[in-house]
Chain A
Amino acid sequence: MKSIRRCQRVITLFIMLFLIGMAVLVVRIDRDAPFYMMHSEDHELGIVYDRSGDVLFDGTGTGEYEENHFLDVGNLIGDDKGQMENTLIAQNIDLLNNYSFSEGLIREGGKAAIYTTLDHYANRAVYNAYAGADGCACAYNYKTGELLVCASVPSIDVTKGYGNIAEMKSGTLISKAMYGTVPGSTQKIPTLITALELMGTEKLFSKSYSCSGKYVNAYGDEIVCHYSSGHGMQNIQQAIENSCNPFFAQLVADPDMPLEGIKRIYRTLGYSVNDDEPQYIDINGIQCETASTVLTDTDEFNTQWGCIGQGETLVSPVQMMMWESAIANGTGKMTMPYLIDRASDTYGDVSVLGSTRFSKQLFSEDTASAVRQILLTNGADHYAVSVPGYTLAVKSGTAQVLEGAEENALLTGFIVDDRHPIAFCVLLENKYGTPVTAEQILKTMLDSLCS
């Protein structure tokens, strides 16, 4: 009867609710089990390969490798020990997990692997080229976004553990290319882009300023040039080639460069201006800083100094390299770098596939071609001897760090080569304290990538 049916309905209600909960639970366990497994003491990781099948990380612990085989990529690839968080493995450990819920833990023969886009040979060559100096170098294919080289010196061999962590130099456990550094004169590229966007090519090329070794701005502060006798009257092409600070200080102070315009274009380029939220580029889970600066008044020292690449300005080498891609492609859109070409799960099936992506439009195609031409001319005029054999577009930079106690050398640019479309950024720390030069490192990198 109805009353009894009501009893049955109440019972059914409770059972149905419970079953729904159970279903949710089972789905959740099935989905999240690999994550739970990562917290287990006996999980089993797979292997990370470079683009030609060389091993960059061996989670199985079975392979045998020569001394320091993993040293050059240690702080980029990382490991599962939890010491380094912003690394490929720490961020993608679920891809490397030799586990599936239906089969349980797979101890032997699990095929979980990450195939990266890195070129281990070139990476190691670059690492060795530093020859005791510190710094970082990154290069990627500006057409596809494949990250080819990302070496950061000093680095760590993860197979040797962290026993001597107290004696490690600072910066050992991070890939420096992902973190902001003082850009020096390479900052003149974004300033050049800003000027082109605000004025247009013709107007900018029609402007010329004089350099007498220093420039006194409206508030009476001095912007000094590295060439104390002065460059005289220059146009923008000459100023870039001379890397002339007074020229750029005057350019920033020009009424055609309004502060709001500079801020807007800097923000589009990825800067966090003044107190903006810091921004990050995501490279397969690895957080890469973009750039930051302080812009308050175009007539004022700090703003001018920031636009020249000193003072408060910080740019990460990866970000510089990405701007080069927007110039090299001629589109004004950056190619987004990626590190994981593909990943296979524990059965060997492809689980993640890397793909080429582009950023939004940062600047116009006209600007891109103008900057491209300026940089190519600079490369042809000044780097044909030190880095021979390439159609090179490049801008150098010298960044004062530690209150001017040390100077870092930077090189950022790209090569025009259909087979090897490479954009790069090289940072050599304390350039006067070491026999190697940034040009030598760049040459080694390009030679090993294009051979």
Chain B
Amino acid sequence: MELTPLLLCAATAAAIDICSLVLILCAYRERSTGKKRWNKISSGMELVEQGHTHRLLCDEILIGRHASADIRLPEMSVSRYHALLTVADGVWTITDLGSKSGVFVNGVQIKRKKLRENDVISIGSRRLTLRKRRDVK
């Protein structure tokens, strides 16, 4: 086989490959942008519980005892599917999913409530605080 067409074909394949690679690198780089954007949407909030932090990385967060819950609180006082945190326009909302022991925000039992910074959520015997993330620039 002649060398020129071989080189050309190899070059074509390489070019496609390199281009894909660059695009993937771009995507990977823009991950941080995506995170920043998410911080803006979610107001950069996180849930804190006695030195333990739960990050809020998507728009629907399930709190419960079940293994598939996003924030898992392995206590018998917590229902398997206890509460659902949702976000819209930077405002987090908590919804009781029909739990046995109920959801309390700042000591008041609620069915559904918009949360503000430093609200304390009581789920079973656990206390979770919603606050601004400390490491956000």
Question: Measuring CB to CB, which residues of chain A are less than 8 angstroms from any residue of chain B?
Answer: 1-4, 103-104, 106
Are A103 and B58 neighbours in the complex by a CB distance under 8 Å? no
CB of B105 closer than 8 Å to a CB of A: no
Pick 7 A–B contacts, CB within 8 A, sort by A: A1-B61, A2-B68, A2-B69, A2-B70, A3-B62, A3-B70, A104-B1
| Alpha-carbon gap, A3 to B58, bound state (A) | 9
Contact with A along B44-78 (1 / 0, CB 8 A): 00000000000011101110000011100000000
| Alpha-carbon gap, A290 to B105, bound state (A) | 93
Q: Other CB < 8 Å A-B pairs besides A2-B68, A3-B70, A106-B1, 14 of them?
A: A1-B56, A1-B57, A1-B58, A1-B61, A1-B70, A2-B69, A2-B70, A3-B58, A3-B60, A3-B62, A4-B57, A4-B58, A103-B1, A104-B1
| Alpha-carbon gap, A1 to B57, bound state (A) | 6
Q: Which residues of A contact B61 (CB under 8 A)?
A: 1
Instruction: Output the nearest chain B residue to A104 by Cβ-Cβ distance.
Output: B1
Cβ of B45 to closest chain A Cβ, rounded Å: 14
What secondary structure prevails in chain A residues at the interface with B? mixed
* CB-based A-B contact count at 8 angstroms: 17
Instruction: Output the nearest chain A residue to B69 by Cβ-Cβ distance.
Output: A2
Instruction: Output the nearest chain A residue to B56 by Cβ-Cβ distance.
Output: A1
Instruction: Output the nearest chain A residue to B71 by Cβ-Cβ distance.
Output: A1
Instruction: Output the nearest chain A residue to B62 by Cβ-Cβ distance.
Output: A3
Cβ of B24 to closest chain A Cβ, rounded Å: 13
Closest 3 CB pairs of A and B: A1-B70, A1-B58, A1-B57
Q: Which residues of A contact B70 (CB under 8 A)?
A: 1-3
| Alpha-carbon gap, A2 to B63, bound state (A) | 11
Cβ of B67 to closest chain A Cβ, rounded Å: 9
Q: Which residues of A contact B58 (CB under 8 A)?
A: 1, 3-4
Q: Which residues of B contact A3 (CB under 8 A)?
A: 58, 60, 62, 70
| Alpha-carbon gap, A158 to B108, bound state (A) | 100
Cβ of B12 to closest chain A Cβ, rounded Å: 16
Cβ of A51 to closest chain B Cβ, rounded Å: 33
| Alpha-carbon gap, A356 to B57, bound state (A) | 71
Q: Which residues of B contact A106 (CB under 8 A)?
A: 1
Cβ of B46 to closest chain A Cβ, rounded Å: 12
